[in-house]
Chain A
Amino acid sequence: MHISEGILSPAVLIGGAAITAAGVAVGMRGLDQKEIPSIGILSAAFFVASLIHVPAGPVSVHLILNGLVGLILGWKAFPAILVGLALQALLFQFGGITTLGVNTLNMALPAVVCYCLFGWGTRSGTGRYAFIFAAFASGFCAVLMAGILVGLSLYLTGEAFLPAAKLVVAAHLPVMFVEGILTAACALFLRKVRPEILEVAHAPD
C-alpha cells in the first residue's frame, strides 16, 4: 500500500527518509558492481509480481512479496525496493517524491527484519518443515509489519487518522495468509529448481 503525497506530516516524512537513507547505505555497502544486473532484474521481477492480482474470497489482492524480497536479497532489499517504488511513482504515480522515503521504509524494513529472523531457515541444509515454516513466517510477518508501519505512519501524522489506520492494518490481515502461503510455495519451488537464488543475500563479497 502506497501512501500518496501530501498526507503525512513533515516529521514523519523526514524520519522515514532518514531511516531509508541509512538502510540504503547499508544495502549499498555490500553491493558489488557485478551484482547490479541481477539485483536490477530481480527487482524488476518483483515490480511485475506486484501487478499480479490473486483472488482472496470475494475480492482480489495484489501481491507484495516483500517477505520473499527480504529472503532473497537481505539488506539489498532496501536499494531494490527504493528503485522499484521510485519507478512506480514515475510510471504510475503510485506514491511520490516526498513520500518515497516513508514508502520504502514501510516495505523494506519488514523485508530486512524477516531476513534477520527467518533467513536461517531458507539456507541450504535446513529440513523441509523448518524451511516451509521459515518461508511462510517470512511472507506472513513481512505483510503484517508493512501494514502496521503504514498504519503507524498515518497515526503519527495525526490522532484523527487512527480509525483509518486501524482499517488499513485490518485490510492487511487476509493478505498476510495469502502472502505466507505464496512465499512458502515459491521458496519451495526455488529450492527445487534453482537453490542458488536463495543464496544471493549471503553470497561472499
Chain B
Amino acid sequence: MIEELSNGDSFIKRLDPRIKIVVVFLFSVVVAVSNQLPVLMLALALSLLIVLSAGVPTKEFLRRLIPVNMLIIFLWLFLPFTFAGKAAFFIGPLAVTHEGVLYATRITIKSNAMMLMLIALVASTPIFTMGHAMHELGIPKKIVHLFFFTYRYIHVMHREYARLLNSMKIRGFRPKTSLHTYKTFAYMVGMLLVRSFDRAQRVHNAMLCRGFKGNLYSLSKFSIKRRDVVSLVCMLTAIILLGVMEWKKTI
C-alpha cells in the first residue's frame, strides 16, 4: 500500500534532515502567503529543480501530484465564473472573468510548487529519520512517539484489514448499498479496533519488559556539516528573495 520513495543516492539525501524540514517549512509558508504570479512561477521552478535533483523520477512525482490537483480541478469548475471582475469571454450564459482565471492559475501554481517541495523532502528522508529530526527541532516528545507508533502500525493494520477483507470475499460478500453491507463493514472496523487494542496492550507490555523508559533512540546521529550550512544559506537566500519580491510588488 505505502511505498516509501527513499531510494537512490543524491546530494539532497545526504543533507541533515533538520535543515531539510526547516527549509521546506519556510518555503511553504512564504509561498502560501505569496500572490504575485512571477514570484509563484519562480517558486515552482525552484521546487522543480529541487525535486529533480533529489532524484525523484518524473513519472513518480507526477503520480504523486494527482491528489492535489483533483481538488484544484474541482475549483477550476467554479472560480473562473464566480470571481468578481471583468468578463473575458462567455461560455453559454456564464461569464468567465479575467480575475477568476488568474486567481485559479495562482492557486494551481502555488499548490504544485509546495507539493513538489514536500515530495522532495519525503523522497530524500525516511519517515523515522523525519520523526527524530522533528523531535530535535522541538516538537514535544509525546507527539513524536505517537507519530512513530502510528506510522509503525499503519502497515500492520493494513495487513490485518486486507486479511479480513479476503475472508469476507471468500465467504461471498459483495458490497451493495444496503444495511447488511454497512453492518458488515462496521463489524470489520470494530474487529480491526479490537485486534489493534489487544495488540497495543501486548506491545506495551513487551516494551516494558525490555526496559522502555519513555525514550526512543536513533541509530543515526545528526551533525551539521559544511554542505548543510552551504545549502541552508543558499535556500534561505532564495526564500528571502522570493519574500522580498512578493513584498516589494504589493506595495
* A contact set with B: CB distance below 8 Å: 2-7, 10, 13, 24, 28, 31, 33-34, 36-45, 47-49, 51-52, 54-57, 63, 65, 68, 72, 79-80, 82-84, 86-87, 89-94, 96-98, 158-164, 167, 178, 181-186, 189-190, 193-194, 197
Residues A96 and B29 in contact in the complex (CB < 8 Å), given A54-B181, A161-B78, A162-B82:
no
* In-complex Cβ contact of B68 among A80, A86, A93, A190 (8 A): A93
Task: Fill in one digit per residue for B104-139: 1 if any A CB lies within 8 Å of its CB, else 0.
Answer: 000101111111001100100001001000000000
Bound together, the chains give a CA A98 to CA B24 distance in angstroms of: 10
A-B contacts, 20 of them at CB < 8 A, read: A7-B75, A37-B207, A39-B149, A40-B145, A40-B153, A43-B150, A45-B192, A45-B196, A49-B189, A52-B185, A52-B188, A55-B175, A55-B177, A57-B177, A160-B82, A160-B100, A185-B183, A185-B187, A186-B186, A194-B197
Give B126 Cβ to nearest chain A Cβ, in Å: 11
- Cα A162 to Cα B75 in complex, Å, equals 11
Check A55 against B78 for contact (C-beta < 8 Å).
no
Contact between chains at B78 and A164 (CB < 8 Å): yes
- A197 pairs with B194, CB closer than 8 A: yes
**Contact of A5 (CB < 8 Å), options: B32, B150, B207:** B32
Partner of A28, one of B119, B142, B201: B142
Query: Which A residues are in CB contact (< 8 Å) with B77?
Result: 164
User: Is A40's CB under 8 angstroms from B71's CB?
Assistant: no
CB-CB nearest in chain A for B165? A52
Given contacts A160-B100, A160-B103, A164-B75, contact A44 B193 (CB under 8 A): no
Is B147 a contact of A163 with CB atoms below 8 Å? no
The A interface, classified by DSSP as helix, strand, loop or mixed, is helix
Main secondary structure, interface of B, reads helix
Known interface pairs A90-B122, A92-B67, A98-B32; A63-B189 also in contact (CB < 8 Å):
yes
A36 proximity list for chain B (CB < 8 A): 142, 145-146, 149
| List of A residues within 8 angstroms of B64 by Cβ | 92-93
Rounded to whole Å, the gap between the CB of A184 and the closest CB of chain B is 8
Instruction: Assess the B182–A54 pair: CB atoms within 8 A.
Output: yes
Interface pair A96/B28, CB less than 8 Å apart:
yes
> Is B140 among interface residues, defined by CB-CB distance under 8 A?
yes
CA distance A163 to B94 in the complex (A): 14
Contact indicator B146/A5 (Cβ below 8 Å): no
What are the residues of chain B within 8 A of A161 when measuring CB–CB? 75, 78-79, 82
Contacts of A55 in B (CB 8 A): 175-177, 181
Contacting residue for A197 out of B111, B160, B197, CB 8 A: B197
Q: Is the CB of B154 within 8 A of A87?
A: yes
Contact among B79, B118, B157, B193 with A164 in the assembled complex (CB-CB below 8 Å): B79
A51 B158 Cβ-Cβ under 8 A: yes
